[in-house]
Chains A and B, each alone.
Chain A
Amino acid sequence: MKVIILAVSCLLAVSGALAADTCYQDVSLDCGQASNSLAFRRNSLPRCNAVYGEYGRHGNVATELQAYANLHLERSYEYLLSAAYFNNYQTNRAGFSKLFKKLSDEAWEKTIDIIKHVTMRGDEMNFDQRSTMKVERKNYTVELHELEALAKALDTQKEIAERAFYIHREATRNSQHLHDPEVAQYLEEEFIEDQSKKIRELAGHTTDLKKFITSNHGQDLSLALYLFDEYLQKVA
């Protein structure tokens, strides 16, 4: 009796399956086999996963997203070193240190967020993945002066923002295989808007500081740096 019920239910299951119901088919096929085969193949429902929209099958959006997490990770620790440098007793610029610490914290949080997003789309994280977008970048040095460090931060934020543009472009290509509105939306919402604000802020800082340093025949230099650091302590 039990066997008949099983057979009927399997028949129903198979007949009800549509072509698109691939996971459903995987599950249904298991009905036809001995129950211990299900135990053996407990991870063998190959089409029951979170991958949709051909994520990771074409183009490089999936790998770029992994590389984007790695970019944030590296920059986060570089910013941390800059924050440390500006907090030693000789530089002693608490405001600059705070600015870099904040950049570091943000990049770190984004790293974790992107990793979660990569796995949300059914992919796995690859910490060795690097972007195909070639950017020339010399080794990072944190032992810079105030204005140089700000400028470096601005460049780095632009690098991160432009990478987001690049991935967005890959994700919005007009091809049925490459179009991935979910990634595009994620980048727009979580990165692109904030990045533009951050870049504007840093650009403003460099403009101000440069003016202070150079105006009045450079006489204001030391006071300008001191005051600007005090200012950064308040706003950064």
Chain B
Amino acid sequence: MKAILLALAGLLAVCLPASATQFYYEVDGKDITGVALWGVQDRPVKEPGAPYRYLPTEAGHRFGFSHVNPVTIPKEWVTMHRNCRMSVRQQIQMEVTASLQYLAMGAHFSKDVARESVKLLLTNNVPTPALLAGAPASAASVSFRFSIPFRCSATFRCSIPFRCSESFHCSVPFRCFVNRPGFAKMFFDAASEEREHAMKLIEYLLMRGELTTDVTTLLQVRAPERKTWEGGVEALEHALLMESAVTKSIRNVIKACEDDSEFNDYHLVDYLTGDFLEEQYKGQRDIAGKASTLKKLLDRHGALGEFIFDKKLIGIDI
């Protein structure tokens, strides 16, 4: 008998941690009683002695458990129109996506050496000759390690067109510059900045009486599309392209909020034009300037030029 009890207790103990995560749905403890709570809300009264129930969230809402019932406020002041709202929401997602892409750039330039593991897919026939110049398809991964004149930027374009019959990982020595703390810092900062842009737009929507529903669906976090860059110039140029796309998208938001035949959203348009576009244009100019300075440096002094430029970015003058 004792053994059975012990086993039961053990079973309970095992189960408990699993249910612990749900404790907030729980109506527990004698002195709480569903009676008092539900009584206040004019909800069904729990019979004395009846078992306490676990309420799933939805039921919790329905019974008005532990929260104040929603109140109604006049909505005349909530004036944003659908198209405008939707385009701002999309813009928020775009800023988030940009922040993730900048994170990947920061991660790339933080690396100590360029050591990309690339999945190469080989067909029975020799695939694209340009890729495997000098390396027969039958070559083992190690033996053609040094025989592919790879460039960083080529990696992702290369691995796609093959139909796969055999695949293996191989470490390819890229001719790209990593170990660039200055660039890494710049891109990590840019990532935080994009996140702040998203927050600013969210704040704006909140001010205008939006985001009372559908908040969860506002944004998604997906892994950034691109992971490697050939060097500082290529990354800066990519950043510039990204910023241009963001700028263009902000202009489209402005258009959507301005062109609505029933409601021209002057204030949002002004905010986007004055605050966001200004920052975009300044930022673009900054990146473009950096890119051309670096490109000029690289003209004669590839490795040294980028090294010096990188140190400049973290504030070390050599």
Contacts and interface: CB of A to CB of B under 8 A. Distances in A.
B174 A43 contact: yes
Contacts of A127: 100, 103-104, 107, 223-224, 227
Given A41-B173, A42-B175, A81 B104 contact: no
Given A50-B112, A81-B216, A84-B215, A217 B40 contact: yes
Interface residues of A, number: 59
A222 interface: yes
Contacts of A68: none
Interface in A109-161: 111-112, 115-116, 118-120, 122, 124-125, 127-128, 139-148, 150-152, 155, 158
A217 B215 contact: no
Nearest to B225: A127
Interface stretch (B5-13, B60-68, B258-266): B60-68
Contact of B115 (A49, A90, A112, A140): A49
Interface string B21-55: 10111000101100011011100000000000000
A127 to B, nearest CB: 4
B146 A88 contact: no
Given A42-B175, A49-B112, A217-B36, A81 B219 contact: yes
Nearest to B149: A40
Interface stretch (B203-211, B278-286, B310-318): B203-211
Interface in A2-31: none
Given A147-B67, A155-B21, A108 B195 contact: yes
Given A41-B173, A214-B36, A84 B216 contact: no
Contacts of B116: 124
A88 B212 contact: yes
A115 B68 contact: no
A90 B112 contact: no
B4 interface: no
Interface residues of B, number: 64
Interface in B199-239: 199, 202-203, 205-206, 209-213, 215-216, 218-219, 221, 223-224, 227
B104 to A, nearest CB: 6
A180 to B, nearest CB: 17
B122 interface: no
Contacts, number: 151
A233 B196 CA distance: 21
Contact of A122 (B23, B112, B213, B223): B112
A125 B200 CA distance: 28
Contacts of B73: 89-90
Interface in A68-126: 70, 73-74, 77, 80-81, 84-85, 87-91, 108, 111-112, 115-116, 118-120, 122, 124-125
Interface of A: 41-44, 46, 48-50, 70, 73-74, 77, 80-81, 84-85, 87-91, 108, 111-112, 115-116, 118-120, 122, 124-125, 127-128, 139-148, 150-152, 155, 158, 206, 210, 213-214, 217-219, 221-222, 225
Given A122-B113, A221-B66, 12 more contacts: A41-B173, A43-B114, A46-B171, A88-B211, A108-B195, A115-B106, A119-B110, A125-B110, A214-B36, A214-B37, A214-B66, A221-B67
Interface of B: 21, 23-25, 29, 31-32, 36-37, 39-41, 57, 60-61, 66-68, 70-71, 73, 96, 100, 103-104, 106-108, 110-116, 146, 171, 173-175, 184, 188, 191-192, 195, 198-199, 202-203, 205-206, 209-213, 215-216, 218-219, 221, 223-224, 227
The 4 tightest CB contacts between A and B, nearest first, are: A151-B24, A217-B36, A125-B107, A127-B223
